[in-house]
Amino acid sequence: MPTLAVHGGAGRLDRRARRAEIDAALERALGAGFDAAGGGALDAAVAAVRVLEDDPLFNAGTGAVLTATGGVELDAAVMVAAGLRTGAVAGVIDFANPVELARAVMEDGRHVLLSGAGASRFGIDCGLAPIDPARLAGAARRQDGSLGGTVGAVCRDDRGALAVAVSTGGTAGKLPGRVGDSALCGAGFYADLAGAACATGHGEDFVRLVGCRRAVELLAGGMDAQTAADRLIEELEARVNGLGGIIVVDSAGRPGVAHNAPYMSWAWRTAGGSARWSD
């Protein structure tokens, strides 16, 4: 049985947040991931993230927050441990599921990160269907920003393969063109033979620390997933006064979650059962 962990963001809890609905959405994401897990760890992680991109409760895809000029700019990424294969997109304005676009970049293999109009052109050339950017911006305005945050998933499948997927609308009111940690390999996501990690919170802090690469280094040094997650958040606070959270799965299939933000939503499912918490 695979191990799959998902998160719905970390930060300050919006008093309007419907926590039961957020928890239910995370359960749906786990379900979709497990349904897709026969195809491997990457299929599971991407399927889980797609569910959350389609849910306006979260700051990704349909529920993404607005930039300072009233638009939507989406970032997403995927990575698999085998061969360190990676794909990412940044500043996407016309794809509601940028995680699929990021996967297409990885599978194409020529580049790691595409941005803006070039990423959109690539997606169309790959046969992915764009949408009117006004639809994404309109959804964000109706929601007045999302109630959850950035979304992500890490998975170890039955064959021991490891993968991570992440998607975000970035920071509310960000300057157009801003790229946070979710599109940057090693900062907001990373997968290697020792494990996989996905971050959420103040992206600039994880960029400065190269936080997810650091978490996987801790796994490679012998820590289990929970210990590595705890240590990473300690270092995030101590070294850059950072705020956020992280989900981790190690090569043995053990999950870990840690955060120093006031709130983080997450869930996991393993052979030993499941856990879900919005704390």
List the catalytic residues.
Answer: 150
Q: Which residues pair with 76 in a beta bridge?
A: 89, 167
Q: What does the alpha-carbon distance between residue 75 and residue 174 come to, in Å, rounded to a whole number?
A: 13
Query: CB–CB of 88/183 below 8 Å?
Result: yes
Sorted by sequence, the CB contacts under 8 Å of residue 70 that are 6+ apart come out as 137
Query: CB–CB of 172/157 below 8 Å?
Result: no
Instruction: Please give the single-letter amino acid code of residue 59.
Output: N
C-alpha closest to that of 201 among 9, 6, 56, 4: 9
Q: What does the alpha-carbon distance between residue 174 and residue 23 come to, in Å, rounded to a whole number?
A: 27
Sorted by sequence, the CB contacts under 8 Å of residue 169 that are 6+ apart come out as 59, 60, 61, 63, 64, 65, 72, 73, 74, 75, 140, 146, 150
CB atoms within 10 A of CB 28: 16
